[in-house]
Amino acid sequence: MRHLAGSFPDLDTLERALDIAARAPSAQNAQPWRWRVTPSGVDLFADWTRRLGDGDSDRRDVLISCGAVLHHCAVAVTAAGWAPRVHRFPDRADGDHLALIELIEAPPSAADLELAAAIGRRRADRRPYRAESLPAGSLEMLHVRAERDGLRFGVVPKAHWGRSADGEVALQFGRRADAPADEAVLLVLGTESDTDLLRVRAGEVMSDLMLAATSMGLASCPLTMPLSDTRDRLALACEVFDGEAYPQTLIRVGWAPDDGNPPPMLERRSVPETTEWLL
Ligand SMILES: Cc1cc2nc3c(=O)[nH]c(=O)nc-3n(C[C@H](O)[C@H](O)[C@H](O)COP(=O)(O)O)c2cc1C
């Protein structure tokens, strides 16, 4: 086992945490991030070479996906006994340097371990969900978690979204509904401004809510494709946030069907492919 001097996790612990963090969801599984490990901590960078297109929604997807992997990494190191102190955008001269995670030895709580255990079970579940109400208080709990981290939280009214037979979710404003909403609840996370920092924060909170939903036994799927239409995004902002927040991501939440056909565990890039070790 390799060790560093002083109070820093051994490298096997870090490698394992980064491998677990890679389970984070990302738009089209693009995994648009890079890590750098130095004696000061773990640095996260956006990897723009993995951006899926030229639109602003593609830029948002990179930042939200990076926020999700940042949160997954924080959960993984916490469970390994290292409390993360996260500095977002630590280098004013480098906007691709999204975070520096410093690590302080600290035992995890039972809640920390529960959230970490959800990482291996979570999948983007695009199946139709069961017609059953969510557990009492669960939406309120997700709401509190989002607002605790400074995000705006809303539920998209069923009249304004639909899900087609092939599983595509679409927002519906000012036109005839092509398909009705299904049994899921469609959540929306918003930010007070549309900055890179808040887009990363939205990804962190999206990750937190999905892991919390998984630990309650619920299925979930993050969705940003329906927000790529600027008019729909604006109409949603007016409908749910009175025009006072920018929708960043949707999350479809509900009970998975008992169809014996769970979503597959998709491949991830390996830690050596994403990580530079400068120790
Ligand atoms: C920012 C972001 C946007 C996403 N947008 C969509 C989407 O519009 N439609 C969809 O079906 N899945 C979407 N996903 C889910 C990803 O496709 C999924 O996370 C990825 O393929 C990895 O699969 P997994 O989450 O099951 O590990 C999105 C995920 C993220 C993080």
Q: What angle do CA 34, 253, 117 make, to 5 degrees?
A: 55
How many other CB atoms are there within 10 angstroms of residue 25's CB atom? 23
Q: pLDDT band at residue 5, thresholds of 50, 70 and 90? A: very low
Binding site membership of 64 for ligand 1 (Cβ less than 6 Å): yes
State both tokens at 231.
Answer: 């008019």
Can you spell out the DSSP letters for 90-120?
--TT-TTEEEEEEEEE-PPPHHHHHHHHHHT
Query: Does ligand 1 have an atom closer than 6 angstroms to the CB of 263?
Result: yes
Where are the domains positioned within the chain? 11-120+265-277, 138-254
pLDDT band at 2 (very low <50, low <70, confident <90, very high): very low
Strands (E), 172-218: 185-191
Atom number of ligand 1 nearest to Cα 68: 31
Rounded to the nearest 10°, the torsion over CA 107, 111, 117, 122 is -140
CATH number of 138-254: 3.40.109.10
pLDDT in tens, 55-85: 999 999 999 999 999 999 999 999 999 999 9
Give the pLDDT confidence score for residue 221 in this predicted structure.
Answer: 98
Gap between the Cα atoms of 225 and 227, Å rounded: 5
Q: What does the alpha-carbon distance between residue 76 and residue 78 come to, in Å, rounded to a whole number?
A: 5
Confirm or reject: Cβ of 269 under 6 Å from ligand 1.
no
Please give the distance, rounded to the nearest whole angstrom, from the Cα atom of residue 26 to the centre of ligand 1.
5
CB-CB contact of 134 with 185 (8 Å): yes
pLDDT tier at 38 (50, 70, 90 boundaries)? very high
**Residue 196 reports pLDDT greater than 60:** yes
Please name the residue whose Cα sits nearest to atom 10 of ligand 1. Answer: 223
Ligand 1 pocket member 223 (CB < 6 A): yes
pTM for the model stands at 0.97
SS3 249: strand
The fold of the 11-120+265-277 domain, in CATH, is NADH Oxidase (3.40.109)
Shortest-distance Cα residue to atom 2 of ligand 1: 27
Q: Which helix (H) or strand (E) segment is 34 a member of?
A: strand 33-38
Rounded percentage of the chain residues whose pLDDT exceeds 90: 93
